[in-house]
Amino acid sequence: MNENIYLPKLAKIIKIKQEVSGSRPIKTFRTQFLESSDFSHRSGQCAMLSVLGKGEAMISISSSPLEKDYLQFSILKSGRVTTALHEMEEGDIIGIRGPYGNHFPIEKWKGKNILFIGGGIGLAPIWSVLQTARAKKADYGKLALIYGARTSNDWVFKEELQELKNEMDIHLSIDCEEEGCNEFVGFVPQNVADKKPSPKNSISITCGPPIMIKFVIEALQELGFKDEQIYTTVENKMKCGIGKCGRCNIGKHYVCKDGPVYSWAELKTLPQEY
Ligand SMILES: Cc1cc2nc3c(=O)[nH]c(=O)nc-3n(C[C@H](O)[C@H](O)[C@H](O)COP(=O)(O)OP(=O)(O)OC[C@H]3O[C@@H](n4cnc5c(N)ncnc54)[C@H](O)[C@@H]3O)c2cc1C
Ligand code: FES
């Protein structure tokens, strides 16, 4: 009998970290499959996470494929499934199916500088590719990150970002001034314009709210980045994750299969429905 393609594999939550508290909380979950699994992902891919009796949500895999001990997801509490996930504890069991979608073509970027630009929970899909590039840094040029959120409490991976400052350029920002915080004050695209990263031999990956992505791309273009040098992810609503239901499509294009990773050159050719 054929395996049911919608059947999730069971995984145990082995670690939960509260990244952000307050009205828009974010938690990072590390999971391990209960049984040996052939699950193998690439940076940029996602998985459908399920909570029994609640439903499923598509979430980016934030751990690097080089990390073999666990799969990591960083999740903003927003609706039914993510609220149920936020209520779970270490040791609880969830369902995972995937991995789904395409991935960042990092192998093609060998020898190039990579500039990561994120906003809020948008650092989650970037985190996997950033960790992969960092682990293989001899293969790449300069790695740098421009990352912002509304307040310093809203940054994800706070401790990790501070440690990373020792090995790469990290430019953080907050939307409004905050006592005790000396980082850039303003929106992420303004920080990009302020830092003026060079487009020479560079690739830029930007993930975050659509409005941020729009203005980051404009800022990058002002600096001379070509459409082929700019990558982003599209997070259309998804249901099946495997190109069957038509929930995520842009024209004839299924974001769950053909995306979520696109160069701006590719995205520009699609109908402007996203
Ligand atoms: C490719 C891809 C990658 C993604 N990666 C991530 C990731 O890494 N981390 C992450 O956190 N998310 C990620 N998402 C987004 C995530 O899949 C969605 O937020 C998903 O809808 C959450 O499921 P849910 O059942 O919790 O929310 P849903 O119930 O689907 O609700 C989603 C939205 O609807 C609104 N809503 C729902 N219920 C109510 C209500 N009762 N009252 C008012 N408004 C309501 C909320 O504004 C909420 O944001 C990704 C999405 C895609 C497509
Ligand atoms: S989510 Fe069903 S076709 Fe993409």
In a domain, 245, yes or no: no
For atom 3 of ligand 2, the residue with the nearest CA is 243
- The reply to whether ligand 2 has any atom less than 6 angstroms from the CB of 213 is no
| pLDDT at 78 (0 to 100) | 95
Ligand 1 centre and the CA of 10: distance in Å?
A: 21
Atom of ligand 1 nearest to the CA of 238: 53
Residue 220 domain boundaries: 106-233
In a domain, 113, yes or no: yes
Ligand 1 centre and the CA of 238: distance in Å?
A: 10
116 shares its domain with 218:
yes
93 shares its domain with 115:
no
Q: Which of 16, 71, 82 to mutate to test the pocket of ligand 1 (most atoms within 8 A of CB)?
A: 82
- The reply to whether ligand 2 has any atom less than 6 angstroms from the CB of 247 is yes
Number of domains in the chain: 2
Query: For the residues of the chain, what is the DSSP string, one character each?
Result: -PPPTTPPEEEEEEEEEEEE-SSS-EEEEEEEESS-------TT-EEEEEETTTEEEEEE--S-TT--S-EEEEEE--SHHHHHHHT--TT-EEEEEEEES----GGGGTTSEEEEEEEGGGHHHHHHHHHHHHHTGGGSS-EEEEEEESSGGG-SSHHHHHHHTTTSEEEEEESS--TT--SEES-HHHHHHHH----TTEEEEEES-HHHHHHHHHHHHHTT--GGGEEEE-----SSSSSSS-SSEETTEEHHHH-SEEEHHHHTTS-S--
162 shares its domain with 187:
yes
Average confidence (pLDDT) per 10 residues, the chain, 274 residues: 83 98 96 93 97 96 96 97 98 97 96 98 96 95 97 96 95 96 97 97 97 97 98 94 93 92 93 66
60 shares its domain with 119:
no
| pLDDT at 1 (0 to 100) | 53
Ligand 2 centre and the CA of 239: distance in Å?
A: 6
